[in-house]
């Protein structure tokens, strides 16, 4: 009897391992990119078309933060099989930095469905199959899968039950809005890959906020302006005052606006204030530097909205709870703080976009 039970368990395990088939993610629908057609579909910039990048720029733009795979399936389970170019650790949770995050639509709402994370050893992890979710019913489900915020991919396969269907999903969100910013938009310190500000705003509004977050590297540099002026988007939202200094804000802001507006007249450019960093509570030199930068941004944006048509400044960005306890490291919020930020700017952004028929 014991041998029979062992044999049955072994058979079930074999069915679990071998009863799957995998589809290349590039045969499904990939969204969430400011520049959709990149040579590597899991990178966010076409380096053959745009130049002037520093080594840091290129490293960050090769990361797939904000990229989403849309598909439909009636499978009882969903698995991933990635090949990584690089696997990264950071202040971010492993489920965000080197993991995959699945949402499924239910009753018209995107509900979290499953996640998985990979280890740091690329040789051991490449090609390893991990489950996002199992034991679902056989109804057709509309799915979106967020790719890792930091770890780079060369290929990705999505697995379903061998006897089930998987097909391209619709582009599940309206419009295309570029959200360019710092590590805050990149998703540093968040818990899962879908818990970034662009991710929250996309699901809260039904509009596609395409992430071009670059950790520590968003200072309105000319190379970013030269690429963004060609972006096929309906609007721009910028978190441009979180990195850099008061001097870099003063040096770069107006040239950044003018470069993009010359190529994109009539496209709204919405700038957000940076958030309060909890490190400012007691660190006096840090508080002074951050305060000077925030004040410079406030002064210059007051001038910019008068000087340039279609330029706006939203001063309501907030990622802090009433208890001032949403931070992870004194600089970056955790997932709840990022939700608070997205919610704090959602209505002002939508109000501006409505002026341009973006609803």
Q: Which two tokens stand for residue 38?
A: 């990149």
CA angle at residue 96 from 224 to 108, to 5 degrees? Answer: 95
For residue range 30-68, what is the model confidence (pLDDT) as tens digits?
Answer: 999 999 999 999 999 999 999 999 999 999 999 999 999
Asked if pLDDT for residue 7 goes beyond 50, the answer is no
For residue range 141-190, what is the model confidence (pLDDT) as tens digits?
Answer: 999 999 999 999 999 999 999 999 999 999 999 999 999 999 999 999 99
pLDDT of 18: 57
For residue range 113-123, what is the model confidence (pLDDT) as tens digits?
Answer: 999 999 999 99
For residue 320, give Cα distances in angstroms to 150, 276, 294, 332. Answer: 24, 8, 17, 10
CB 182 within 8 A of CB 242: yes
Supply the mean pLDDT for the chain.
94
For residue range 327-338, what is the model confidence (pLDDT) as tens digits?
Answer: 999 999 999 999
Asked if pLDDT for residue 85 goes beyond 60, the answer is yes
For residue 328, the 8-state DSSP code is: S
pTM score: 0.93
CA dist 43 and 152 (Å) reads: 8
Rounded mean pLDDT, 345-351: 98
Asked if pLDDT for residue 13 goes beyond 70, the answer is no
Residue among 90, 117, 324 at smallest CA distance from 215: 90
For residue range 300-322, what is the model confidence (pLDDT) as tens digits?
Answer: 999 999 999 999 999 999 999 99
Rounded to a whole number of angstroms, the CA Rg of the chain reads: 21
For residue range 209-251, what is the model confidence (pLDDT) as tens digits?
Answer: 999 999 999 999 999 999 999 999 999 999 999 999 999 999 9
Q: Which two tokens stand for residue 332?
A: 């970056």
Q: Residue 359: which residues within 8 A CB-CB, separation 6 or more?
A: 174, 353
CA dist 89 and 85 (Å) reads: 14
Rounded mean pLDDT, 195-203: 98
CA angle at residue 281 from 312 to 213, to 5 degrees? Answer: 40
Identify the band that residue 14 occupies on the pLDDT scale cut at 50, 70 and 90. very low
Asked if pLDDT for residue 1 goes beyond 90, the answer is no
């Amino acid at each position: 009897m014991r041998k029979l039970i062992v044999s049955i368990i072994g058979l079930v395990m074999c069915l679990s391992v071998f009863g799957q088939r995998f589809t290349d993610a590039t045969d499904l629908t990939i969204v969430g990119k400011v520049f959709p057609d990149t040579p590597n579909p899991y990178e966010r910039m076409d380096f053959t078309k745009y130049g002037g990048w520093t080594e840091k720029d290129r490293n960050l733009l090769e990361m797939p933060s904000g990229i989403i795979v849309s598909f439909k399936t009636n499978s009882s389970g969903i698995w991933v099989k990635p090949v990584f170019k690089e696997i990264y650790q950071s202040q971010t949770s492993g489920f965000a930095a080197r993991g995959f995050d699945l949402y499924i639509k239910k009753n018209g709402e995107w509900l979290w469905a499953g996640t998985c994370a990979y280890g740091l050893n690329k040789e051991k992890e490449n090609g390893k199959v991990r489950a996002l979710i199992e034991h679902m019913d056989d109804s057709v489900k509309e799915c979106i899968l967020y790719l890792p915020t930091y770890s780079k991919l060369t290929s990705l396969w999505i697995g379903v039950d061998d006897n089930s269907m998987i097909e391209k999903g619709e582009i599940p969100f309206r419009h295309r809005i570029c959200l360019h910013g710092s590590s805050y938009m990149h998703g540093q310190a968040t818990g899962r890959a879908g818990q970034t500000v662009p991710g929250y705003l996309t699901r809260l509004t039904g509009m596609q906020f395409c992430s071009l977050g670059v950790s520590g590297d968003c200072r309105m540099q000319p190379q970013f302006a030269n690429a963004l002026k060609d972006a096929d988007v309906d609007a721009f939202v910028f978190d441009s005052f979180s990195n850099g200094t008061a001097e870099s804000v003063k040096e770069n802001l107006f040239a950044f606006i003018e470069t993009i507006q010359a190529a994109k007249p009539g496209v709204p450019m919405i700038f957000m204030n940076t958030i309060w960093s909890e490190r400012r509570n007691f660190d006096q030199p840090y508080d002074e530097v951050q305060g000077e930068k925030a004040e410079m941004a406030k002064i210059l944006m007051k001038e910019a909205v008068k000087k340039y048509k279609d330029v706006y400044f939203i001063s309501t960005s907030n990622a802090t709870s009433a208890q001032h306890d949403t931070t992870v490291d004194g600089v970056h919020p955790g997932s709840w703080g990022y939700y608070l930020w997205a919610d704090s700017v959602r209505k002002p952004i939508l109000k501006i976009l409505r002026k341009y028929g973006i609803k």
